[in-house]
Each structure stands twice: as structure tokens, then as C-alpha cells.
Structure 1
Amino acid sequence: MMNTSENTLKVGKQAFNYFTKGLETGNWQDFLDMLTDDFNFWFPMGKFHGLNTGKTRAKEFFTYVSEAFNPGLKLTSLDNITSNEKTIIFEFRDEGNLFGEPYKNRVAVAFDVRGDKICSYREYFGSDGKSY
């Protein structure tokens, strides 16, 4: 049987794979399917600034991300993964176009894991280029 830390790592890595697929393709369904019903997320700026609650709000956010970064963002490096019993953090670099303008950035996303689902998401960014 897996311990809590191993489960967090396994579920978090699967969610991150779906997350990066969403960034690249705009198809967020696999990631959205991994969210708990009481999912909440924190975003540092724009119309989603602050704490947001619910899967419906999450779907609105990730749809907005896909529209802003059409045709998609590419992960250029995965710099670090840190995890404990309930949280996994991915530090990465990505690039693409933001509303048609060249974009690249360093990002950290944190997923809180409950069972086989993601119950919370936090994003931090802003050192290599324009941010949204």
C-alpha cells in the first residue's frame, strides 16, 4: 500500500501531465476530471486574481488561459519537483504567444492532493517575460 507522500507524488505527477497537455492543446478535460467538487485555486493577477472556488470557476479560468495563449504554451524545462504528504510543487519554464505576442516565463504551480484528486491549485510566475 502506498503511503501519503507516494500517493501525493503519483497523483500530482498525473495531474501535471494533464495540466501541461491543457497548456499545449487547450484540452483541459482530463485535468478538470481530476479536481474535487470543492476545488479552489489562487491566481496572482487579472480577472481571476485571488482565491477562486469551484470546478465551474476553474473551467472558466482554464478556458481563458487557452484563449490567451492560443495556440498553446510549450513547457521548455521542468526545473524542480518538491512534495510532501499533501502538496506537490512543479517549477518550470514555458513559452508561446500571449494574445499574439511572444511570451516566456518561469512558473511554479502547487497542487494539493486529497485521495486521487486535486483539491487546490496555486500559481506563481513572473521572471522571464510578459505575464498575463
Structure 2
Amino acid sequence: MTQQSENTLKVAHQAFEHFQHGLATGQWNHFLDMLTEDFSFWFPIGKYHGLHQGKEKAREFFQYIAESLRGELILEHVTSNETTVVFEFRDEGTLFGELYKNRVAVSFDVRGDKICGYREYFGSDGKSN
């Protein structure tokens, strides 16, 4: 593993810990602090479907997540290269007050000690009522 790959993995793991905390508590400030100003993100559905640019747009998105979602996650796989790390996990919680189960893959693009890109992909494990 190259030094760049090791740094990418280290930064992404730190960001993922903050991501996990945000998902569980609705507190996203530490995660947001790790984003570059030109951060971009892609989300697969809903109000934020598609590609978005800028840290302020990300702040809006994660505020929306804080208002609508609470969950705990179980990390299953991590895959990385020199610039990107993909985390695959299962999560369970509430979405707009309804119970849910989900399988998710998120990728973090790393530049230096910051996250410059995020993409999310998911599929349902089925709702629980």
C-alpha cells in the first residue's frame, strides 16, 4: 500500500466515524468540518436526487438528514484505492418516524486531509412496522 493510499484510508475512516455519529445523533458538524469548500455529492432519490456542488449545499443536505433520519449502522466491507474509499454497511432506524432497514454503500473521495466528494447508493432490506 502506498503512502497516499494509507493517508486516503486514514482520512476516510475518520470521516466515516463522524458520518456514523451524525447518522446516530443528527449532529453533523464534525463531518462537515472535514469537507472541502468545493465538495460535491450525489444522492440517489428524493429532494436531493442527483449531483450537488458546494459545502453549503452539503450542509443543507445533512440538516435534512438530521431532521428525517436516525439510525445505527453495522460496517461490513471497506474497499479503497489511492483517492477513494467505499464503505458498505447495513443500517436500521427511523425515517420520518417509520422503522426501516437498509443496505448502503457510500464512497468518499479524499484530497489531502479532507473529503472532496461523496456518493451514496442503497437498497432496502425491507421495512419493519
Structure 2 equivalent of residue 84 of structure 1: 81
Amino acid in structure 2 at the alignment position of 1:111 = F
Structure 1 equivalent of residue 71 of structure 2: 73
Give how far 1:65 is off.
0.7
DSSP-derived class of the 1:85 partner: coil
Structure 2 equivalent of residue 109 of structure 1: 106
Choose the corresponding residue for 2:97, options 72, 79, 100: 100
Amino acid in structure 2 at the alignment position of 1:102 = L
Structure 2 equivalent of residue 28 of structure 1: 28
- 1:129 has 2:120 as partner: no
**How many Å separate the matches in 2 of 1:50 and 1:129?**
24
Amino acid in structure 2 at the alignment position of 1:84 = N
Structure 2 equivalent of residue 57 of structure 1: 57
TM-score in terms of structure 1 length = 0.93
Gaps of 5+ in 2: none
Show structure 1 runs of 4+ deviating over 6 A. Answer: none
Amino acid in structure 1 at the alignment position of 2:48 = F
TM-score in terms of structure 2 length = 0.95
Give how far 1:129 is off.
2.6
Structure 2 equivalent of residue 42 of structure 1: 42
Q: How many equivalent pairs are there?
A: 126
Superimposed CA distance per residue, residues 58-104 of structure 1 (whole angstroms, 9 cap, x where no aligned partner): 011001111111xx2111x2110000000000000001111111111
**How many Å separate the matches in 2 of 1:39 and 1:102?**
31
DSSP-derived class of the 2:124 partner: coil
**How many Å separate the matches in 1 of 2:54 and 2:11?**
20
**How many Å separate the matches in 2 of 1:100 and 1:112?**
31
Amino acid in structure 2 at the alignment position of 1:61 = F
Superimposed CA distance per residue, residues 18-61 of structure 1 (whole angstroms, 9 cap, x where no aligned partner): 00000001110000000001000000011110000111110110
Structure 1 equivalent of residue 116 of structure 2: 119
**How many Å separate the matches in 2 of 1:42 and 1:34?**
17
CA RMSD of aligned residues (A): 1.0
